Structure 1
Amino acid sequence: MTIPGLLRLVGPDFGALGGSSQLRAIVGALLTYGLITAVLMIVVCSATWAIGSAQGSWQTASKAKVGLFVAIGGATLTGGALAWANWLLDVGATL
């Protein structure tokens, strides 16, 4: 399955709302920027952690480890935002 096909499969149901095209664009952009930022921070922090550990700089390695865990948490929350948006749209459609 391709990535666009997968995104259509797990994407929220925007048909239940008026003005759904603007909402779709806003949510899609925010999720994209959030995930790109989280993945870049995971790469940067893991590389910094490795370099800091190899050079014996425990302060740098410790800060990079905390940054890595924060970035993983951010990626998880950003991914979970899609499920939360689906739930809110389902609740809103039944009201």
Structure 2
Amino acid sequence: MKDISFPGASVGPNFDAVGGSVELHRIVGALLTYGVLIAVLMIVVCAVGWAIGSASGSWQTAARAKTGLFVSLFGAVLTGGALAWANWLLHLGATL
């Protein structure tokens, strides 16, 4: 049997099949943007708190600010990588 391939044809998910998918993409994009902005602002706030706590000799404040810094850094990485991960999964699903 001969393999038939069509140039320019691709198989992928049909996001237009769901009503309101354009609005959904905008909402998700806005939420990801706000999430990354808040996480980066928390990184700055926690870094300043860690510096002030260490300079003043308050080890409890420095320890809590350090924990907050690592949590917000993880949140920024997770939020920033969510879109790349979703695109990777969509690409992987299209190749199966």
Q: CA RMSD in A?
A: 2.0
Per the normalisation by structure 2, the TM-score is 0.73
Deviations 1:60-82 (A, max 9, x none): 00000000000100000001101
**Pairing of 1:1-95 with structure 2 (within 5 A):** 16-18=14-16, 19-90=20-91
Question: How does the TM-score come out when normalised to structure 1?
Answer: 0.74
Q: d(CA) in 2 for partners of 1:16 and 1:75? A: 30
Equivalent residue pairs, number: 81
Q: 1:17 to 1:84 in 2, by over 3 A?
A: same
Per-residue displacement from partner, 1:16-72 (whole Å, max 9, x unpaired)?
412431121111111111001101100100000000000000000000000000010
With a CA cutoff of 8 Å and minimum separation of 6, indicate the structure with the bigger relative contact order. 1
Q: Specify the structure having the higher radius of gyration (Cα).
A: 2
- How much identity, in percent, do the aligned residues show? 70
For structure 1, the residue ranges without an aligned partner over 5 or more in a row are 1-14
Do 1:17 and 1:93's aligned partners in 2 also have CA atoms closer than 8 Å? no
The ranges of structure 1 where at least 4 consecutive aligned residues each deviate by more than 3 angstroms after the TM superposition are 88-95
> How many Å apart are 1:92 and its aligned residue?
5.8
Structure having the larger proportion of residues in helix: 1
CA distance in 2, matches of 1:46, 1:22: 36
